[in-house]
A and B are shown apart, each in its own frame.
Chain A
Amino acid sequence: MDELGAIQRMKSGDIGGLELLVTKYQLRAVRTAFLITRDAAQAEDAVQEAFLQTYRSIRHFDPDRPFAAWFMRSVVNAAVKISRKSARHNPAGLDPDDSWWEGMPADAEPVEGQIENSEFQRQLWESLQSLSPHQRAAIVQRYYLDMSEKEIAAELEAAPGTVKWLLHAARRNLRALLSERTKK
Chain B
Amino acid sequence: MKDESIRKSLEAIARQSILENTNLWPSLAARLERKETLSLNIKRRLVWTILLVLLGLFALTGVAYAFYRYFNNDAGLQSINNTGLLATVNVTAQPTPNPTATPPAPVTAIGDSQTLAGVRLTLDWIYLMDGQQAFGFSANGLVSGKTLGMPELSFGRLIPDQYRGAGLALKDATQPVSGTYVVNQIVRDSASFGKTDTRSDVNIDIPLLDGTGQVLNTFRFSVKDELIHAGPFVGGNIYSTTANGLEMDLDWVRLNSKTVQARLCFIPPDGKDWRLVSPTLQLVTDPTQLASVTPVPASPAMPITDENGTRCQVATFPVSTQAAQIFFLKAAKMVTPAGETLQGDWTFNWNQLPGQVQFPGIAPLEPASLGSDVIASDMTVTLEKAYADVFRMVFVVSIKSSQTGLVVSNASLKDASGAELNNGVGINSQPDDPPGRFTVELDPINEFEFAAGQFKGQLTLDIGDQFGNSSSQAQAHFPLDIPVYPAIVFDPMQTITANGVEMLLQRVKITPSFTKAYLCFQKPTQADWGIGSASTLKIGEDTGTISYSIFLFDSENIGNMPKNPEPGWIAPVQTGHCIAAGFTVGHHGKPETLILNIAGLEQSAPEVIPADQLQAVRQKLLAQGIDMDWVTSSGNGGGGGGPVINTKPAGMTDEQVMQLFYEALGIDYPGPWIFTVAINP
Identify the 3 closest CB pairs spanning chains A and B, nearest first: A31-B14, A41-B190, A62-B528
Quick one: given A27-B18, A48-B28, are A97 and B163 in contact (CB under 8 Å)? no
- The answer, yes or no, to whether B13 is at the interface (CB within 8 Å) is yes
- Asked whether B161 is an interface residue with its Cβ less than 8 Å from the other chain, the reply is yes
List residues of chain B with CB within 8 A of the CB of A55.
Answer: 32, 35, 39
Q: How far is the CA of A124 from the CA of B4 in the complex (A)?
A: 13
Question: Is there contact, CB below 8 Å, between A52 and B7?
Answer: no
A96 to B191: give the CA distance in the assembly, Å: 10
* B12 & A60 in contact (Cβ 8 Å cutoff): no
Identify A45's interface contact among B35, B41, B162, CB under 8 A. Answer: B162
Provide the residues of chain A in CB contact with B606, threshold 8 Å: 60
Residues of B within 8 A of A85 (CB): 161-163
- In A145-166, the 8 Å CB interface with B consists of 146, 157
Given contacts A41-B193, A144-B7, contact A88 B162 (CB under 8 A): no
Find the A residue at minimum CB distance from B20: A27
- Contact B18–A8 (Cβ < 8 Å): no
**Chain A interface residue number, banded:** 35 or more
Asked if B310 contacts A88 (CB within 8 A), the reply is: yes
B interface with A by C-beta (< 8 Å): 1, 3, 5-18, 20, 22-25, 27-29, 31-32, 35-36, 39, 41, 159-163, 185-186, 188, 190-191, 193, 308, 310, 422, 424, 445, 526-528, 548, 550-551, 554, 556-557, 560-562, 565, 604-607, 610, 640
Q: Bound complex: CA of A8 vs CA of B552, how far in Å?
A: 9
Cross-chain contact A40 with B560 (CB below 8 angstroms) = no
Chain B positions within 8 Å of A59 at CB level: 604
CB-CB under 8 A from B23, the residues of chain A are 26
**Measured CA separation A86–B606 after assembly (Å):** 29
Residues of chain A with a CB closer than 8 A to B556's CB: 64
Q: B13 touching A121 by the CB < 8 A rule?
A: yes
CB distance from A131 to the nearest CB of B (A): 12
CB distance from A41 to the nearest CB of B (A): 4
Contacts of B551 in A (CB 8 A): 8, 11, 63
Are B160 and A52 within 8 A (Cβ)?
Answer: no
Contact assessment for B13 and A35 in the assembled complex, using a CB-CB cutoff below 8 Å: yes
Most buried by B among A19, A48, A174: A48
**A30 and B24 within 8 A (CB):** yes
Q: Residue on B with the closest CB to A82?
A: B162
Overall SS of chain A's interface = helix
Report the separation of the CA atoms of residues A23 and B544 in the bound assembly, to the nearest whole angstrom.
39
How far, in Å, is B556 (CB) from chain A's closest CB? 6
> By the criterion CB–CB under 8 Å, are A60 and B605 in contact?
yes
Contact partner, B12, options A27, A40, A107, A143, Cβ 8 Å: A107
| Cβ B9 vs Cβ A117 within 8 A | yes
Per the bound structure, the CA–CA distance linking A107 and B31 in Å amounts to: 38
Beyond known contacts A40-B17, A82-B161: 15 more, CB 8 A cutoff: A15-B29, A18-B32, A19-B25, A44-B22, A44-B24, A55-B35, A63-B560, A64-B526, A97-B191, A100-B16, A139-B6, A139-B10, A144-B10, A174-B1, A175-B1
Give the residue name and chain of the A residue nearest to B21 (CB). Answer: A27
Contact B191 A99 (CB under 8 A): yes
Q: Which residues of A contact B31 (CB under 8 A)?
A: 48, 52
On whether the beta carbons of B162 and A52 are closer than 8 Å, the reply is no
B161 and A42 form a contact (CB under 8 A) = yes
Query: Which residue of chain B has the shortest Cβ distance to A57 in the bound complex?
Result: B607
A47 at the interface (CB under 8 A from B): yes
Contacts of A3 in B (CB 8 A): 560
Interface string of A88-120 (1 = CB under 8 A from B): 111100101101100011010000000001001
B28 touches A51 (CB 8 A): yes
**Complex CA–CA separation, A143 to B528 (angstroms):** 31
Q: What residues of chain A lie closer than 8 Å to B188, measured between beta carbons?
A: 41
- The answer on a CB contact under 8 Å between A22 and B162 is no
Chain B residues whose C-beta falls within 8 Å of the C-beta of A30 in the assembled complex: 18, 22, 24
A4 sits at the interface (CB 8 A):
yes
One of B11, B14, B557 near A64 (C-beta < 8 A) = B557
When C-beta atoms are compared, the residue in chain B nearest to A26 turns out to be: B24
Q: Which residues of B contact A117 (CB under 8 A)?
A: 8-9, 12
Known: A175-B1, A178-B1. A31 touches B18 (CB 8 A): yes
- Are the CB atoms of B24 and A51 closer together than 8 Å? yes
A13 touches B424 (CB 8 A): yes
| Beta-carbon contact of A4 and B9 below 8 Å | no
Question: Is the pair A86, B18 in contact by a Cβ cutoff of 8 Å?
Answer: no
Q: How far apart are the CA atoms of A117 and B607 in the complex, in Å?
A: 43
CA of A86 to CA of B607, assembled, Å: 25
Across the interface, name the chain B residue whose C-beta is closest to A43. B18
Q: A12-B550, A27-B20, A31-B18 are in contact. Are A97 and B32 (CB under 8 A)?
A: no
Residues of A within 8 A of B13 (CB): 35, 100, 121, 124-125
Task: Contact check, B560 vs A4: say whether CB atoms are below 8 A apart.
Answer: yes
Task: Give the residues in chain B near A13, CB-CB below 8 Å.
Answer: 424, 548
Residue-wise interface mask of A (60-73) relative to B, using a CB-CB cutoff of 8 A (1 in contact, 0 not): 11111000000000
Tell me the bound Cα distance from A22 to B27 in angstroms: 12
Contact across chains for B191 and A105 when beta carbons are under 8 A apart: no
20 CB contacts below 8 A, A to B, read A3-B560, A5-B562, A13-B548, A18-B32, A22-B28, A32-B14, A35-B13, A42-B161, A45-B162, A55-B35, A60-B606, A62-B527, A85-B161, A94-B159, A100-B17, A120-B5, A121-B9, A125-B13, A146-B7, A178-B1
Minimum C-beta distance from B157 to chain A (A):
9
In angstroms, Cα B28 to Cα A48, docked, is 6
State in angstroms the CA–CA spacing of A147 and B160 once bound together.
32
- If the complex has contacts A48-B31, A89-B163, A157-B610, are A143 and B24 also in contact, measured as CB distance less than 8 A? no
A116 smallest CB distance to B (angstroms): 10
Partner of A89, one of B6, B11, B160: B160
Cα-based distance from A56 to B39 in the complex (angstroms):
6
B12 touches A121 (CB 8 A): yes
User: Which residues on the A side are within 8 Å of B29 (C-beta)?
Assistant: 15, 19
Interface centre among B35, B39, B422 (most CB of A within 10 A): B39
Question: With a CB–CB cut-off of 8 A, which chain B residues contact A18?
Answer: 28, 32
Cα–Cα distance between A2 and B560 once the two chains are bound (Å): 9
**A41 vs B550: C-alpha distance in the bound complex, in angstroms?**
37
A112 CB to nearest B CB, Å:
15
CB-CB under 8 A from B610, the residues of chain A are 157
